[in-house]
Amino acid sequence: MAPHAEERVGSATEGGVAATPPKDLFVVDSPNVKYTDDAITTKYTYRTTAVTKDASGKYVAAPKETLYDFKVDRKIPKLGVMLVGLGGNNGTTVTAGIIANRRGLVWDTKEGKRAANYYGSVIMGSTTKLGIDSETSEDINIPFHDLMPMVHPNDLVIGGWDISSMNLADAMDRAKVLEPSLKALVRKEMATITPLPSIYYPDFIAANQEERADNLIPGNKASMAHVEQIRKDIKDFKAANNLDKVIVQWTANTERFSDVTEGVHDTAENLLKAIEAGHEEVSPSTVFAVACILDKVPFINGSPQNTFVPGAIKLAEQHGAFIGGDDFKSGQTKMKSALVEFLINAGIKLTSIASYNHLGNNDGMNLSSQKQFRSKEISKSNVVDDMVAANTVLYAKDEHPDHTVVIKYMPAVGDNKRALDEYYAEIFLGGHQTISIFNVCEDSLLASPLIIDLVLVAEMMTRIQWKVHGAESADDKYAGFHSVLSVLSYMLKAPLTPPGTPVINALAKQRAAITNIFRACVGLEPESDMTLEHKLF
């Protein structure tokens, strides 16, 4: 459990200590791995297969090896998280959850006592295979969090912005997510946290949100003054809490899609000019992203709108700033990406997917507006495309299953979202299979661990550098990953990838990407389930 810090200013949770070296759970015994107090350096052979076609049209597969050098900064920073939408369901839930875990709280419910945990977080709640016990031949699994020298969520310092001025204790009551007995235990700390004023452009979110909007930075359209105020807020938060780094994450309302226009959104220069001119098609989330990019503060978009217009991505590339998005993948879509991957990999031809949701929280109320719903519909509808395209045995070119998504606002069910899905598939000799799923998802309790995962992985990526081994030229020195953090895809419905690279939605591949990149950083081979050591007698 993290030690409590002194009382802090800046409307932030307590937490964290100064940057410290980690206590390793394991070491890698290899001539390719070196440890110092400051870094882990490794030589890693990346193996892939390059495919070409010969003159006859036959595929030629050639194994390919590339030797890379990785360098990982081992010193764990004191990390701050600033949430846009701090007073919403997700913001209050994740803040209360971190306080509860930090204090090791136990509370009464009608089903008995419950203790704070990080269930639902792949980083904090799952394990990964380290290797095989040399004596018993059994798998050795370790907590995922211990694979790399990562920040612990108990040490996070939380602050942020909201269009509502309500303190987090009252906002927690408004959200109606947590048990009363738990709320009573965290109320005092939550009451001390008040969101910073945020920006509010009424055309981008539903009109039914207007009554919340009493905590605003002046101005109702994009401006450089808004960009500069956000930058100042981040710098002040960092200084007030003596932080090494800050990560910003959008967990506010879903916006409508921006109408992306040539000359406005297409280049970094045009986007900055459009903000300066107060262009009406620059969204609040894009303004937040630009402010973060200019100061190289990682920015993650947890809603489905098109925050990262082409100019924003190019601006991030220019500044070497990390961005990631879009839209938290928590309940129905995570089930869909897992089930569709299973069916198509099993050779079963999925022909239609019908997804219906109803929910009663503020997200549902905002999505009752058609323009905001359209943003969500797009993010939920594209999650099967790469899996379909990969199976040319089942699907002809440009063939897709029918796929429809419906979302309805039903206040009575609150944060307990109902998700109903029907999967209709063609099987052997013209037969059919129908799978129906009814999923009750406590929405914010599923999304909050994803917020934590996105922060922990994004921060870890800021401490990883790599290069081609043996490179000596100035262009081939150690460098970070591309500005677009596609490694965050496991937690996001509509993963953002670097321009010109494929989008991966298959859940198992997304998790494997995080696992195997981290393994490479500490000098381990990718996970393998071949178990050849058990097959030769």
Sorted by where each begins, the domain ranges of the chain are 79-328+446-463+490-519, 332-444
CA dihedral 267, 272, 277, 279 (to 10 degrees): 60
Q: What DSSP string runs through 475-523?
A: GGS-B---SB-GGGGGGBSS----TTS-----HHHHHHHHHHHHHHHTT
SS3 (DSSP) at 407? strand
Q: What are the distances in angstroms from CA 193 to CA 102, 189, 301, 408?
A: 16, 7, 23, 32
> Which of 187, 186, 216 has its CA nearest to residue 200?
216
Query: Is 376 an annotated catalytic residue?
Result: yes
What's the CA gap between 75 and 22, in Å, rounded? 7
Which residue would you say has higher pLDDT here, 419 or 520? 520
Give me the phi and psi of 126, to 5 degrees please: -130, 170
Of all residues in the chain, the percent with pLDDT exceeding 70 is: 91
Please say whether the beta carbons of 352 and 403 come within 8 A: yes
pLDDT, tens digit, 9 for 90 and up, residues 445-468: 999 999 999 999 999 999 999 999
What's the CA gap between 458 and 300, in Å, rounded? 9
Please say whether the beta carbons of 88 and 362 come within 8 A: yes
Q: Which residue of the set 376, 380, 443, 453 is catalytic? A: 376
Task: Tell me if the domain spanning 79-328+446-463+490-519 has CATH number 3.40.50.720.
Answer: yes
Q: pTM to 2 decimals?
A: 0.90
Query: Is 371 an annotated catalytic residue?
Result: no
Beta bridge partners of 107: 114
In a 13 Å sphere around the CA of 426, the CA atoms on its Cβ side amount to 9
Q: Which residue of the set 233, 326, 327, 363 is catalytic? A: 327
Burial class (CB in 10 A: 0-12, 13-18, 19+), 481: middle
Q: How confident is the model at residue 500 (pLDDT cuts 50, 70, 90)?
A: confident
**Torsion region of 112: left, alpha or beta (phi above 0 gives left; psi -120 to 50 gives alpha):** left
Q: What are the distances in angstroms from CA 297 to CA 49, 92, 98, 245?
A: 36, 22, 22, 8
Per-residue pLDDT, 381: 65
Question: Quick check: 16 pLDDT over 60?
Answer: no
Per-residue pLDDT, 349: 97
Question: Where is average pLDDT lowest: 301-305, 439-443, 489-493?
Answer: 439-443
Per-residue pLDDT, 412: 87
Question: Quick check: 19 pLDDT over 60?
Answer: no
Rg (CA), the chain: 24
Question: Quick check: 10 pLDDT over 80?
Answer: no
What's the CA gap between 119 and 327, in Å, rounded? 20
pLDDT, tens digit, 9 for 90 and up, residues 423-451: 999 999 999 999 999 988 888 999 999 99
Query: Is 78 an annotated catalytic residue?
Result: no
Q: Which residue of the set 417, 421, 443, 453 is catalytic? A: 417
Q: How confident is the model at residue 207 (pLDDT cuts 50, 70, 90)?
A: confident
The arithmetic mean of pLDDT across residues 319-341, rounded, is 90
Query: Is 113 an annotated catalytic residue?
Result: no
The arithmetic mean of pLDDT across residues 211-228, rounded, is 96
Per-residue pLDDT, 167: 98
Q: How confident is the model at residue 386 (pLDDT cuts 50, 70, 90)?
A: confident
Which residue would you say has higher pLDDT here, 92 or 476? 92
Q: Which residue of the set 78, 329, 334, 493 is catalytic? A: 493
Q: How confident is the model at residue 385 (pLDDT cuts 50, 70, 90)?
A: confident
Fold classification of 332-444 is Dihydrodipicolinate Reductase; domain 2 (3.30.360)
Question: Quick check: 269 pLDDT over 90?
Answer: yes
Per-residue pLDDT, 11: 52
